[in-house]
Amino acid sequence: MAYQIFEMADGQRVALYAQGNSIFSCLLPFMRGMTPAEVKADYLAHLSAAVFRDTVCYVYENLEHKVVIDTLGASPARILLSDGTGGYGFENLQLVVRENGLYLFYQVRRKGEKAGLYVCMPYRENVWGTVFEGEDGSWQVELLAAEGQTQLLCLDRRGGRLRLYDWQQDAEFVQRRFMEEAAHEKQVEALKASWQEEKALLESGKEELQAEAMAKLGEFQQEKEERMIQCRKEYESRVERLRTEYEGKLSQCREGYEAQLERAKQQYNELAQTAMKLQQIGRKWRDKYFGRSEEKENV
């Protein structure tokens, strides 16, 4: 029992599964008390479903070996394929939505013959086509978008083989041949040789770049040394200029201090001489004054 779960445009999720001879559907999440709805009671095999125009469409083989398509909506069921009297058997029913169309891929097997892969459009009359015939296997199809067009990839789930087709119109397919092993090896060898050439070119270019880088580095080192020499000269010149200015200002200050000192010394000498003269005058006056006083006392 395999569940197929689909999400509708309103966000509601729907599950569809087969159990025994019945097909059931239910809404998700499945709550306690809910009961799955039995939508079919004549199921035999090959249930496949897809969302087409916001409706879950499903196809299956019933107990009468007829392929039936139906929906979970109000559309009536339709019988698409019947085994008739030719001993046909249907396998690997797959519903696929492409752009605005719904397609059914299926395999037909006759007794003693290999199965082919066929396609039809369930809701369009007279659209029937053949993908390939005469290839045994259990084929599963997948849609691919490449080079601005739709491609159909067919995978044999039993043998692991692949077939690739360009899906051109509703039921027209053009096979793309896969490269043979020998051709593939030749192409690989050619790619390896091309890669080796490119690698050699890159190596030579790398050596040239290294040489150019070393040359640029030498030029940069030389320019750096020249700039350092120039900066050193400018620095020494500026230091010399500042030292000259400093020594000039210091000399001016020294001369000013010496002149002040000389003036102070001169003033001191002048004061000393004045003091000496005052002492001499005072001594004269003392001698003159005190000498007369002594004479009177003696008399």
Residue type, 214: M
CA atoms within a 13 Å half-sphere pointing along the CA-CB vector of 97: 13
**Tokens describing residue 296:** 């009177």
**Does residue 180 register a pLDDT over 60?**
no
Distance, in Å, from the CA atom of 174 to the CA atom of 158, rounded to the nearest integer, reads 23
The residue type of 7 is: E
Residue pLDDT, tens place only, 195-244: 888 888 888 878 888 888 888 888 888 888 888 899 888 988 888 888 88
Give residue 264's pLDDT band: very low, low, confident or very high (50, 70, 90): confident
Q: Which tokens in the block code for residue 165? A: 């087709």
Residue found under tokens 């040489």: 211
Please name the residues in contact with 171: beta carbons below 8 A apart, sequence gap of 6 or more: 119, 120, 121, 127, 128, 129
The model's confidence at residue 6, banded by pLDDT at 50, 70 and 90, is very high
No. of helices (H) and no. of strands (E), the chain = 1, 16
Residue 118: which of 202, 168, 128 has the closest Cα? 128
Round to whole Å and give the CA distance between 142 and 251. 101
What percent of the chain shows pLDDT beyond 90?
Answer: 34
Contacts for 282-290: CB closer than 8 Å, 24+ residues apart = none
pLDDT digits (tens, 9 = 90+) for 132-166: 987 788 899 999 987 778 899 999 988 888 899 99
pLDDT at site 295: 57
pLDDT value of position 176: 85
Largest CA distance in the chain: 196
In percent, how much of the chain has pLDDT > 70?
93
pLDDT of residue 17: 94
Question: What is the three-state SS of 170-186?
Answer: CCEEEEECCCCHHHHHH
pLDDT at 112 over 70: no
Greatest mean pLDDT range, 13-22, 175-184, 255-264 = 13-22
The type of residue at 179 is M
pLDDT at 133: 87
Is pLDDT of 290 > 80? no
Domains in the chain, CATH or no CATH each: 4-175 (2.120.10.30)
What pLDDT does 292 receive? 59
**In the structure encoding, which two tokens stand for residue 167, read together?**
């899906």
Q: Are 128 and 169 in contact (CB under 8 A)?
A: no
Tokens representing residue 271 in the block: 């004061």
Angle at 278 between CA 273 and CA 282, to 5 degrees: 150
Across the chain, mean pLDDT equals 85
Predicted TM-score (pTM) above 0.75: no
Q: Tens of pLDDT along 31-75?
A: 887 889 999 999 999 999 999 999 999 999 999 989 999 999 778
**In the chain, which residue ranges form alpha helices assigned H by DSSP?**
181-298
Residue showing tokens 């496949």 = 48
Yes or no: say if 41 and 21 are a contact pair by the CB < 8 Å rule: yes
How many angstroms from the chain centroid is the CA of residue 106? 41
CA distance 134 to 116: 6
More confident residue, 176 or 57: 57
Burial of 162-175, coded b for 16+ CB within 10 Å and e otherwise, reads: ebbbebeeebebee
**In 10 A of CB 67, how many CB atoms?**
21
Whole-number pLDDT of residue 212: 83
Q: CA quadruple 72, 75, 76, 77: dihedral positive or negative? A: negative
Residue 62, pLDDT score:
93
**pLDDT band at 294, cuts 50/70/90?**
low
Question: What's the whole-number mean pLDDT along residues 90-101?
Answer: 91
